[in-house]
Amino acid sequence: MNMKTNLTYGMVGAALDSFIGSVHRVGAGFDGIAFLAAGCFSRNEEKNRKCGEFYHLDMNRVYKNYEEMAEAEGKREDKIDYVVISAPNNAHYKTAKAFLENGIHVFCEKPLCFEVEEAEELKKLAEEKGLLFLVNYSYSGNVMVKEARELVRQGYIGDIINVNAEYLQEYLVDDIGKGDQIMVKLSSWRKDPEVAGISNCVGDIGTHIENTVAYMTGLRVKRLAAKLDYFGQPLDLNANMLVEFDNGAHGVFCSSQVCVGHMNGLVIRIFGTEGAIEWHEEEPNVLFVTKKGCPMQTYHRGMGYISERAASMSRIPAGHPEGLYEAFANMYKVWNAAVLAKANGTELTESELDFPTIDDGIEGVKFIHAAVESSKKDAAWVEL
Ligand SMILES: NC(=O)c1ccc[n+]([C@@H]2O[C@H](COP(=O)([O-])OP(=O)(O)OC[C@H]3O[C@@H](n4cnc5c(N)ncnc54)[C@H](O)[C@@H]3O)[C@@H](O)[C@H]2O)c1
């Protein structure tokens, strides 16, 4: 039997003017394995067509809507191997369901969907159909996030006793005092409950904290006590919470879109009985590592002392910065290998399964619901 060596994919969402769509296209194609073959890039006919033309697609495979695309692709002999769902949140559940029903693997943006029941239904469907499902918590694609995970796994910092994590942005600070008017600017859908779901700040960036911490530490949030601030808007713009992990340790997660001076300040600090690890998304090529009793050390991506697993995801020599595009490329490197292994009927290895799955997506949806519920109850503890 000839082994399959490359893949085709389609996209839902991700027109040329979208934020994250082009990052996906660069990431998916980085290693020359996956090629864009179909799409429904926008509900706007002109934007949809322009995107298809820009990528020189067969225009018969540029579809009016996701239903048509899932059905038509599912019937083709050369159907896409997977779909990338990069439309806003309210499209995730129904789109993922349609593609799973038509036998196509799903790579879906976060948050997975609105309701926990929907998330569990998607999991069941993927399992029944024997299909792979990735939920794009993209920061785990960073080499130094992988290095942090390896150090924790090796016991380098001992038992984890505390986590302090923040994701601070300022871009919605002008919304304060604007009543419930939704200011129209890029991605204003994030503040619209119909499109974003029950949360803006926790749903959009708070869930990245939850997942990146889980990836680095292996710990899951068991319960949380949260206070969300709305500043008169329909959805939250700021969230402070205390979390308890399944090993009994506690932590603080702060996410905000109204912190002046911060652009994309995701910072994760993990404290153990023997040491500490700190990673900053705005400085992703380094990891700060402290062994108890010693000064803080700066580990650099690309250097010989980095673990084999993390080093295998590093693409250019140390000192040349890697960033968001490479993190996406790493996510796709693992995913493409998994989809190929599945197509070739080979057993998936641990490294091919090193991506956020639908279980991570389900945890994310539970986390959002718990945070909103806790805040409504004046920061009472809520189990996930
Ligand atoms: N993982 C990450 O780091 C990351 C970063 C940014 C955004 N996201 C997620 O990606 C998704 C998209 O975010 P964005 O900032 O790119 O949004 P955006 O508004 O910039 O782009 C959304 C695109 O989807 C298209 N679209 C909307 N509804 C559609 C539908 N029903 N069918 C087909 N196309 C449709 C729009 O025309 C647009 O091209 C969101 O779920 C968001 O949470 C994830």
Q: Is the CB of 54 under 6 A from ligand 1?
A: no
Going from the Cα of 207 to the center of ligand 1, the distance in angstroms, rounded, reads: 16
Going from the Cα of 86 to the center of ligand 1, the distance in angstroms, rounded, reads: 5
Q: Is the CB of 217 under 6 A from ligand 1?
A: no
pLDDT at site 188: 84
Q: Are 288 and 298 in contact (CB under 8 A)?
A: yes
Q: Is the CB of 21 under 6 A from ligand 1?
A: yes
DSSP state of 357: B
pLDDT at site 180: 55
φ and ψ at 186, to 5 degrees?
-45, 130
Mean pLDDT of the region 352-360: 96
Q: What whole-number distance in Å separates Cα of residue 102 and Cα of residue 99?
A: 5
> Three-state SS for 319?
coil
Q: Is the CB of 15 under 6 A from ligand 1?
A: yes
pLDDT confidence band for 184 (50 / 70 / 90): very low
For a pocket test of ligand 1, which of 12, 40, 42 has the largest count of ligand atoms closer than 8 A to its C-beta?
42
Q: Where are the domains of the chain?
A: 7-131, 141-316+363-383
Q: What whole-number distance in Å separates Cα of residue 207 and Cα of residue 214?
A: 11
Q: Is the CB of 20 under 6 A from ligand 1?
A: yes
For a pocket test of ligand 1, which of 20, 44, 85, 113 has the largest count of ligand atoms closer than 8 A to its C-beta?
20
Query: What count of other Cβ atoms lies within 10 Å of the Cβ of residue 57?
Result: 18
Joined together, the tokens standing for residue 205 give 């960036």
CA distances from 184 to 151, 190, 191, 204 (A): 44, 11, 10, 18
Preceding omega of 111 cis (within 30 degrees of 0) = yes
**Is residue 162 over pLDDT 70?**
yes
Mean pLDDT of the region 350-360: 94
pLDDT confidence band for 177 (50 / 70 / 90): confident
Query: What count of other Cβ atoms lies within 10 Å of the Cβ of residue 318?
Result: 15
CATH of domain 7-131: 3.40.50.720
**Is residue 185 over pLDDT 70?**
no
CATH topology classification for 141-316+363-383:
Dihydrodipicolinate Reductase; domain 2 (3.30.360)
pLDDT at site 187: 63
Q: Degrees (nearest 5) of the Cα angle 116, 121, 126?
A: 125
Beta bridge mates, 163: 251, 270
Share of the chain above pLDDT 70, in %: 98
pLDDT at site 179: 59
Q: Is the CB of 86 under 6 A from ligand 1?
A: yes
Residue pLDDT, tens place only, 271-308:
999 999 999 999 999 999 999 999 999 999 999 999 99
Shortest-distance atom of ligand 1 to CA 48 = 37
Shortest-distance atom of ligand 1 to CA 66 = 32
Q: Are 251 and 139 in contact (CB under 8 A)?
A: no
pTM (2 d.p.): 0.97
Q: Is the CB of 50 under 6 A from ligand 1?
A: no
Strand 297-300, strand 275-280: pairing: unpaired
Going from the Cα of 361 to the center of ligand 1, the distance in angstroms, rounded, reads: 17
Residue pLDDT, tens place only, 1-20:
789 999 999 999 999 999 99
Q: What whole-number distance in Å separates Cα of residue 211 and Cα of residue 360?
A: 7
Residue pLDDT, tens place only, 235-278:
999 999 999 999 999 999 999 999 999 999 999 999 999 999 99
Burial (CB count <10 Å: 0-12, 13-18, 19+), residue 4? middle
Q: Are 122 and 379 in contact (CB under 8 A)?
A: no
pLDDT confidence band for 207 (50 / 70 / 90): very high
